[in-house]
């Protein structure tokens, strides 16, 4: 038996210890080589009389399947379909994808007891291996987590996860686990019944061996003829109280945009009516079909492969040495500055939080107290964590406290004069060589850098609110920004565990240009007489997580008014829509409705504990209301999806974004652009540029020239090009 990814040792009691430790990787994954070796190990356990049972242990975490391999499997199907036909190609793909299921089932039925000792992250196919073992022990380490997160990249568990979880947990709990894809802590997993024991890391292997010795005849619960699923039969009174609501919840949450979620529902529903072997065959067929879906391909590319590359710093300049940040300064302790202070201190950095006076600075620090206290209340942090975090934040109005800072983030009020003054005060203390970053959402970085002592050391870092929850940071390059500034900014963003995208300077940068067009369309719909509830609901049907009116409230209706006013002042009346101006001006100037911040926006925000509701006065501002039955829902959905995609294409053609990966990841993480599409440019590629251009022109004919496709996109459609195809060709050249 030749093993490269596992170590196999047998002790004096005949208990085999199988240690999973892939060389050259920071984390174990499932790939064809691993599957083949697991097959060899199962053969050895079952056939060697000297082996009485086995314990599988992890030398490091398991991240699930190698999604690059799954992407390759889809490409191989496409190649075979062209040369051998779709039926032959599908048969070949099913044979590949069901191998993991088969080898896990062989392990489960090998006739000897097998336990798994879990220390660290054990997700996806790794946890499915654990579920195929007869006993599971997890360490009580803070790093240990289990779960099946495949749904987050458009897939679902294909190694028996849907069938084993559905036989371990009551059906509602199983479906919720599979739909959410959360990482689960050991104590919670034990309470759920997913694992059997929790113990100190140093004891789990021995405890697993002891269990194996004490249970020579172990078998999976579902292999007992008397086994009954926790929720009973599907067709039973209990089942009928479960499945119709489950289907309704699925439709409410997904609007049928996520084939993998539907496949989970079907796989569990059908599988629970069958013996395990047939149930696993059902799961494999559903998994194969989902693997070939355009949604899975787009989500795997954007949310796993591209995001992984960006998180690893693929855009970091190679010629700049790594910066080892220890202490940072934050100018401005308002909502954004306070949030940046929290994530920085939470990452272990020392923080100097500056504001105009001590009370304002303390208020900013109190935000960190509030956030970490909430984490403690949820069991996600400890009192000691809070004490250490708050000790790392020094709140003060004294700029002299910035001495020794390695990096400074300016997050003061969105006004040039205020930002210039803060920058000058800080540089007077630190000098010209410390990299300065401005957290601005609209002001061009090149113009802000004019007040800096060294424009080449000045860069933009655009955070999104709330900072502690939003994972994206837009790094903006001014005209004179140098590689050192980019390298330091990139190191900072990665240190606080955010995903960076690098964009070139322009008004609104990339994400805001896209999201402003999304919100503009909703404002125009409202003024056309489309009912506000229909606007919000159809946006969710299109795949956006937050309705555009609610999003305007969250970002601030008054901010929308400031942006409109500034745009008109700088570029003239023709640069804004008069109808939108009338709506926002009425909301802010006349009605004093600023959004969630003052409890009044497109929604009314009542006392805590009560649900927000759309403001009845919106109809009066519009002056008309259309009959919903006369409105095309498909048109509304396209009016939400097309403007951000068109703007993303313009940004790429203008050189604001230079990489489709950043455009896609930025649109999903920045404002939740329909994740099932893979992002703005993937939406165009997935639809096909030719079909996209035709539909854009049809929308332009009805709703106006803002839907007209850029000439470069028309050329791409005529030539049969795609954004990712062009990017690959450019890279190859």
Query: Which residues are within 8 A (CB) of 546 and not within 5 positions of it... i.e. 6 or more apart?
Result: 539, 554, 672
pLDDT in tens, 613-651: 999 999 999 999 999 999 999 999 999 999 999 999 999
Instruction: State the CB neighbour count (10 A cutoff) for residue 76.
Output: 14
Taking the domain 327-506, which CATH number applies? 3.40.50.720
Report the alpha-carbon distance of residue 549 to residue 533 in Å, rounded. Answer: 9
pTM over cut 0.75: yes
Burial class (CB in 10 A: 0-12, 13-18, 19+), 383: exposed
Share of the chain above pLDDT 90, in %: 89
- For the residues 128-147, what does the mean pLDDT come to? 97
Q: What is the pLDDT of residue 566?
A: 84
Decide if 403 contacts 431 (C-beta within 8 A).
Answer: no
The C-alpha atoms of residue 173 and residue 94 are separated, in whole angstroms, by 29
Asked whether the beta carbons of 160 and 174 are under 8 A apart, the reply is no
- Render pLDDT for 405-416 as a digit per residue (tens, 0 to 9): 999 999 998 888
DSSP conformation letters of 524-571:
HHHHHT--HHHHHHHHHHTT-SS-HHHHHHHH-HHHHHHHHHHHHHHH
Helices 548-555 and 511-528 cross at an angle (nearest 10°) of 120
Greatest distance between any 2 Cα atoms in the chain = 85
- What's the whole-number mean pLDDT along residues 459-474? 95
* 544 phi and psi angles, rounded to 5 deg: -80, 135
Distances (CA, A) of 572 to 564, 566, 576, 669, 707: 10, 9, 8, 32, 21
Sequence-separated (6 or more) residues with CB below 8 Å from residue 471: 498, 499, 669
Mean pLDDT of 430-448: 91
Antiparallel, parallel or unpaired: β 62-65 and 28-30:
parallel
C-alpha span between 528 and 379 (Å, rounded): 48
DSSP, collapsed to helix, strand or coil, labels residue 371 as helix
Task: Give the model's pLDDT for residue 567.
Answer: 87
Strand order in the sheet with 327-331: 393-396, 350-354, 327-331, 407-410, 435-438, 458-463, 472-477, 499-504
Average pLDDT over residues 256-272: 96
Catalytic residue list: 441, 462, 474, 512
**Range 322-330 average pLDDT:** 95
pLDDT at 37: 96
Distances (CA, A) of 603 to 547, 593, 595, 621: 11, 9, 8, 14
702-707 contacts: CB < 8 A, separation 24 or more? 702/635, 703/635, 703/639, 706/517, 706/643, 706/646, 707/642, 707/643, 707/646
Distance of CA 148 to the CA centre of its chain: 15
What pLDDT, in 10s, does the model give residues 364-414?
999 999 999 999 998 889 999 999 999 999 999 999 999 999 999 999 988
Q: Is the pLDDT of residue 151 over 80?
A: yes
Tokens (6 digits) for 561? 């008014």
d(CA 351, CA 368): 12
Could you report the per-residue pLDDT of 676-707, keeping only the tens digit for each?
999 999 999 999 999 999 999 999 999 999 99
* pLDDT at site 77: 87
User: Is the pLDDT reported for residue 14 higher than 90?
Assistant: yes
Secondary structure in 3-state letters for 609-662: CCCCEECCCHHHHHCCCCCHHHCCHHHHHHHHHHHHHHHHHHHHHHCCCCCHHH
pLDDT band at 154, cuts 50/70/90?
A: very high
pLDDT at 356: 95
Helices (H), 349-434: 358-377, 383-391, 416-430
CA trace torsion 717, 720, 722, 728 (10° rounding): -150
CATH of 512-655+659-727, one of 1.10.1040.50, 1.10.580.10, 3.40.920.10, 3.40.50.300: 1.10.1040.50
Instruction: Dump the DSSP string for 179-241.
Output: HH---B-HHHHHHHTS-SEEE-GGGHHHHHHHHHHH-TT---GGGSTT---TT--SSSHHHHH
Mapped onto helix, strand or coil, the DSSP state of residue 77 is helix
Q: Which residues contact 52 (CB under 8 A, 6 or more apart)?
A: 13, 14, 15, 112, 113, 212, 213, 216
What CATH superfamily is the domain 6-292?
2-enoyl-CoA Hydratase; Chain A, domain 1 (3.90.226.10)
DSSP helix/strand/coil, 407:
strand
* Confidence band for 302, pLDDT divided at 50, 70 and 90: very high
* Predicted local confidence at residue 658, as pLDDT: 96
List Cα–Cα distances, 6 to 29, 106, 137, in angstroms. Answer: 12, 18, 19
Q: What is the pLDDT of residues 557-571, one digit of tens each?
A: 998 998 899 889 888
| Domain ranges within the chain, ordered by starting residue | 6-292, 327-506, 512-655+659-727
More confident residue, 529 or 89: 529
What is the reported pLDDT for 414?
81
Range 152-171 average pLDDT: 96
HEC readout, 97-142: HCHHHHHHHHHHCCCCCEEEEECCEEECHHHHHHHHCCEEEEECCC
Say how many residues make up the chain. Answer: 733
Q: How far is CA 539 from the centre of its chain?
A: 19
Confidence at residue 555, expressed as pLDDT on a 0 to 100 scale: 87
**327 token code pair:** 């202490």
**DSSP β-ladder status, 15-20 and 6-10:** antiparallel
Output the CA–CA distances (angstroms, integers) from residue 276 to 166, 169, 235, 265, 466, in the order listed: 11, 15, 18, 17, 45
Sheet containing 53-58: which strands, arranged edge to edge? Answer: 6-10, 15-20, 53-58, 114-118, 135-139, 197-199
285 to 78, 115, 258, 396: CA distances (angstroms) = 17, 28, 17, 61
Phi and psi at 17, nearest 5°, equal -105, 115
The mean pLDDT value of the chain amounts to 95
* Residue 498: DSSP 8-state: -
Asked if 67 contacts 123 with a C-beta cutoff of 8 angstroms, the reply is: no
3-state secondary structure at position 68: helix
Each residue of 29-72: pLDDT tens digit?
999 899 999 999 999 999 999 999 999 999 999 988 888 777 77
User: Is the C-alpha dihedral spanning 599, 605, 610, 611 positive or negative?
Assistant: negative
pLDDT tens for each residue of 270-287: 999 999 999 999 999 999
């Amino acid at each position: 038996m030749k093993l490269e990814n596992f170590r196999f040792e047998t002790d004096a009691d005949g208990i085999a210890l199988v240690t999973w430790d892939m060389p050259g990787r920071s984390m174990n994954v499932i790939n064809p080589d691993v599957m083949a070796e697991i097959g060899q190990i199962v053969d050895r356990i079952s056939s060697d009389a000297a082996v009485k049972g086995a314990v599988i242990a992890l030398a490091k975490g398991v991240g699930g399947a190698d999604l690059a391999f799954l992407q390759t499997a889809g490409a191989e199907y496409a190649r075979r379909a062209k040369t051998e036909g779709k039926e032959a190609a599908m048969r070949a793909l099913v044979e590949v994808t069901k191998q993991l299921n088969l080898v896990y089932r062989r392990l489960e039925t090998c006739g000897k007891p097998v336990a798994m000792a879990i220390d660290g992250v054990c997700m996806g196919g790794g946890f499915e291996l654990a579920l195929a073992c007869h006993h599971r022990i997890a360490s009580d380490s803070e790093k240990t987590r289990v779960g099946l997160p495949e749904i987050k990249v458009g897939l679902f568990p294909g190694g028996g996860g849907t069938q084993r979880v559905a036989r371990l947990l009551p059906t509602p709990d199983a479906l919720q686990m599979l739909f959410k894809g959360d990482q689960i802590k050991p104590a919670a997993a034990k309470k759920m019944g997913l694992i059997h024991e929790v113990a100190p890391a140093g004891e789990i292997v021995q405890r697993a061996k002891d269990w194996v010795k004490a249970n020579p005849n172990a078998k999976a619960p579902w292999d007992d003829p008397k086994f009954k699923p926790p929720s009973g039969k599907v067709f039973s009174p209990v089942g009928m109280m479960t499945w119709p609501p489950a289907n309704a919840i699925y439709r409410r949450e997904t609007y049928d945009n996520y084939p993998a979620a539907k496949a989970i529902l079907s796989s569990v529903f059908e599988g629970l009516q069958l013996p395990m072997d047939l149930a696993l065959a059902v799961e494999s067929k559903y998994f194969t079909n989902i693997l070939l879906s355009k949604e899975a391909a787009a989500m795997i590319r954007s949310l796993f492969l591209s995001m992984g590359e960006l998180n690893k710093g693929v855009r970091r300049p190679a010629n700049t040495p790594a910066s080892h940040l220890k202490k940072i300064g934050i100018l401005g302790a308002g909502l954004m500055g306070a949030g940046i202070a929290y994530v920085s201190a939470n990452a272990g950095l020392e923080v100097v939080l500056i504001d105009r006076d001590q009370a304002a600075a303390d208020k900013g620090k109190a935000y960190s107290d509030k956030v970490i206290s909430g984490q403690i209340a949820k069991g996600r942090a400890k009192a000691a964590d809070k004490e250490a975090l708050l000790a790392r934040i020094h709140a003060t109005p004294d700029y002299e406290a910035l001495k020794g800072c390695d990096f400074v983030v300016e997050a003061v009020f969105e006004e040039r004069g205020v930002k210039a003054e803060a920058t000058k005060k800080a540089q007077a203390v630190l000098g010209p060589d410390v990299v300065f970053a401005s957290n601005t959402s609209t002001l061009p970085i090149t113009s802000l850098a004019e007040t800096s002592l060294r424009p080449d050391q000045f860069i933009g870092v655009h955070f999104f609110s709330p900072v502690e929850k939003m994972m994206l940071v837009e790094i903006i390059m001014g005209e004179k920004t140098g590689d050192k500034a980019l390298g330091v900014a990139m190191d900072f963003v990665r240190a606080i565990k955010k995903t960076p995208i690098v964009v070139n300077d322009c008004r609104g940068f990339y994400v805001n240009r896209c999201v402003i067009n999304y919100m503009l369309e909703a404002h125009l719909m409202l003024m056309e007489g489309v009912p506000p509830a229909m606007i919000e609901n159809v946006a969710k049907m299109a795949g956006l997580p937050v309705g555009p009116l609610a999003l305007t409230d969250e970002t601030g209706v008054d901010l929308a008014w400031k942006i409109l006013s500034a745009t008109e002042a700088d570029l003239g009346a023709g640069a804004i829509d008069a109808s939108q101006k009338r709506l926002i001006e009425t909301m802010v100037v006349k009605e004093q409705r600023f959004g969630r911040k003052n409890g009044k926006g497109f929604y009314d925000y009542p006392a805590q504990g009560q649900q927000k509701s759309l403001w009845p006065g919106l109809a009066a501002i519009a002056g008309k209301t259309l009959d919903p039955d006369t409105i095309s829902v498909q048109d509304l959905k396209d009016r939400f999806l097309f403007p951000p995609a068109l703007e993303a294409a313009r940004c790429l053609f203008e050189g604001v974004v230079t990489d489709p990966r950043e455009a896609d990841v930025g649109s999903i993480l920045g404002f939740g652009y329909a994740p099932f599409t893979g992002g703005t440019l993937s939406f165009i590629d997935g639809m096909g540029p030719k079909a996209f251009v035709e539909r854009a022109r049809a929308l332009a004919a009805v709703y106006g020239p803002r839907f007209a496709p850029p000439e470069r996109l028309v050329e791409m459609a005529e030539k049969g090009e795609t954004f990712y195809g062009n990017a690959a060709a450019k890279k190859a050249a």
